[in-house]
A = this chain, B = another copy of it.
């Protein structure tokens, strides 16, 4: 199960509300700011340069990842630690092989894979090696997606400026009618506005959010690796708990039903 991330959705809607409010309270109308050719040159140009920067499949994955930023990962680190401690108790009582059955009930594929490696009797160094390679590879795939939005965030204002320069050159060459100078310059500035909106309303926050999600996932996977290797080494469940809780903020240690893995300590 994946839940919707209310912060990101509210943030994007609120950003739009702020802009609409700014326009209306200014006594202007929204239609003054809607200009299809400006939209095409700014958004089209920015996405064209982003396409040039990546392969076709990375581009498609990047676009799709917009949906990822709106989702909250279900399992939190506190719950994860509880599960690992349960597994360590099972392993201690019934042997490592008994984990195979426990693994079938797990949703988390990374933890499952690790348990199966342990059950197979794989060498601990090799278990760590395989799981860390996977961790690094996941992070590199995440970084590609974050890089996609960083490119969009850089290209939005850049193409906004190209659009404005195109408009200014045209305006400056046609100044015979003084009454047209203002509106022509207004149109020229709309691409800069669009580029700034693309970067600061959408692309940069999405890249930031994916970065935050990646950091949480990486920390969770590090907890899994530490826990799995401790289980394999037959360590005491109480020591494993002490070890894994070091990853948590103090306030999350006592309430395993608590939802967050960030800090409120002073």
Partner pick for A137 among B44, B51, B73, B246, CB 8 A cutoff: B246
Q: Are A250 and B205 in contact (CB under 8 A)?
A: no
What B residues does A183 contact at CB under 8 A?
Answer: 172-173
Nearest B residue (CB) for A51 = B11
Classify chain A: how many residues form its interface, as a range: 35 or more
Chain B CB within 8 A of A232 CB: no
Residue interface mask A173-200, B partner, CB < 8 A = 1: 1110000001101110111110011011
Nearest B residue (CB) for A41 = B22
Extra 8 A-B pairs, beta carbons < 8 Å, given A55-B262, A117-B242, A126-B239: A7-B51, A23-B166, A26-B170, A57-B262, A137-B248, A144-B212, A165-B192, A172-B185
What B residues does A140 contact at CB under 8 A?
Answer: 215, 219
What B residues does A23 contact at CB under 8 A?
Answer: 166, 170
For window 104-161 of A, CB contacts with B under 8 Å fall at 109, 117, 122, 126, 129-131, 133-134, 137-138, 140-142, 144-145, 151, 154-155, 158-159, 161
Known: A45-B15, A109-B250. A51 touches B10 (CB 8 A): yes
